[in-house]
Amino acid sequence: MAFKTLGAKAAAALDKELMSSGAFSLDQLMELAGLSVSQVVYRVHPITKGPKILVAVGPGNNGGDGLVAARHLRHYGYQPTIYYPKRPKNELYQRLTKQLEDLNIPFVDDFPDALKSADHVLDAIFGFSFSGEVREPFPAVINAMAETKIPVTSVDAPSSWNIEDGPPSEGVGSNFHPDVLISLTAPKPLVKHFKGLHFIGGRFVAPSIAKKYDFDVPEYEGLDQIVEVEAAGQKL
């Protein structure tokens, strides 16, 4: 089956619905999203390939998903390192950060330098709400991810990509093509431009809500929070 995509406005409305009539808290949604992200990393990059995961964290909810994923990865036995240059004052993000500090997970200020010793990169900078230009200090980070030979997994959207139209035609991110993408809840229209390994994660949506927003809930197996689909939207 081909999976229907969810545009930026619909994705934002869905989030509001999940937190109102759906009765989820933002903490819950972020925890479930981050858990699914951690399972993708575990699937595509077993710890035997190298334990060092560099997590690039943005200032919004996409970054929060990355912080949660890093905590789970640490408990799986990986050695995550966090690049988190723009930290919001919001209490939720402060708690997620404290949880990582309590696990002695290092935070670094120099992304290109940290990249030299990484085995895998998790791109949790910008999600479906991103639009406009990439502001400092992220242009150099996205360029570094575009140029590295180290595999990159992006959360919900490759950072800098337009949710509808995919990679920018020029400038920052125009040559950024991550190896792996995990679409949260449902794929976004940009997936038609994505050629790597594609997963859907977010095993919590009620059928009634999926029907209202006209997207498909994939068939998750066993304990899995993720399902692999072809980049073109076909299930493998």
Give the residue ranges of the annotated binding site for K(+): 62, 123, 159
| Pairing of β 120-124 and β 52-57 | parallel
Distances in Å between the alpha carbon of 229 and those of 62, 124, 182, 193, 195? 21, 20, 10, 14, 11
- Phi and psi (nearest 5°) for 30? -70, -40
Mark the binding-site residues, compressed into ranges. 61-65, 123, 127-133, 156, 159
Residue 85: cis peptide before it, omega within 30 degrees of 0:
no
Residues 96 and 67 sit within 8 Å (Cβ to Cβ) = yes
Mark the binding-site residues for (6S)-NADPHX, compressed into ranges. 61-65, 127-133, 156
Place of tokens 């991810």: 145
CA 157 to chain centre: 7
Q: Which two tokens stand for residue 59?
A: 């200032």
Burial class (CB in 10 A: 0-12, 13-18, 19+), 153: buried
**Residue 139 in 3-state DSSP?**
helix
Sheet containing 152-155: order of strands: 107-108, 79-83, 52-57, 120-124, 152-155, 180-184, 197-201, 226-229
